[in-house]
Amino acid sequence: MRMIFIGPPGAGKGTQAARLVARHGIAHISTGDMLRAAVRAGTDLGREAQRYMSAGELVPDEVIIGMVRERIQEPDCARGFLLDGFPRTLPQAEALDAALSEAGIALDHVLVLEVPDELIVQRITGRRMDPETGEIYHLEFKPPPPEIADRLVHRKDDTEEACRARLEAYHRQTAPIIPFYEARGLVRRVDGVGSLDEVAARIEAALGA
């Protein structure tokens, strides 16, 4: 099973991705992790990426695509993979499509996790972190024990303004890739509202499991 996983920030994609790869025994390819691994390994593409990152610049799409092409041909991807965090834009989707075609690899699914913006804002702005343990709580959905409430912190990227900015970027940059894959009959839309188990069951149903 080879798939791309798409969803807005705060939709619960990370949790469901971890469940998916464990359930199906496929590789979880996060572009952030992939970049760091390539830099640590000192590959040609890793050294090239390091030059951009050291200069505080974004790593160009063609470098990321090259890394993805190398990564998906590694042994742990033989049973399949879940590509998480890439592509984020239509040009990246088009370049990835070309790279996969050249490598003789076809996608099976593009999974789209859908959650209304207002619920995402509610989820994210209610989060609080315990700086001593790193545990994440939610004022409504996972209230903290009263004895630690005073020490919890509200992270800067969990404010409503930051959340809405990330959502706007998702709708402007990433959502346009969905019609690109719909034209290929690959898109599987899943309602991301509900318990972890409910959403996981919908994902399996959408994938035909």
Annotated catalytic residue 166: yes
Q: Catalytic one among 40, 47, 51, 155?
A: 155
Annotated catalytic residue 2: no
Annotated catalytic residue 13: yes
Q: Catalytic one among 2, 71, 127, 188?
A: 127
Take residue 124 and report the two structure tokens written for it.
Answer: 């994210």
Q: Catalytic one among 2, 13, 128, 202?
A: 13
Q: Catalytic one among 19, 69, 164, 166?
A: 166
Q: Catalytic one among 19, 69, 88, 189?
A: 88
Annotated catalytic residue 184: no
Instruction: Report DSSP letters for the chain, one per residue.
Output: -EEEEE--TTSSHHHHHHHHHHHHT-EEEEHHHHHHHHHHHT-HHHHHHHHHHHTT-PPPHHHHHHHHHHHTTSGGGTT-EEEES---SHHHHHHHHHHHHHHT----EEEEEE--HHHHHHHHHTEEE-TTT--EEETTTBPPPGGGGGG-B--GGGSHHHHHHHHHHIIIIITTHHHHHHTTT-EEEEE--S-HHHHHHHHHHHTT-
Annotated catalytic residue 127: yes
Catalytic annotation, residues: 13, 88, 127, 155, 166
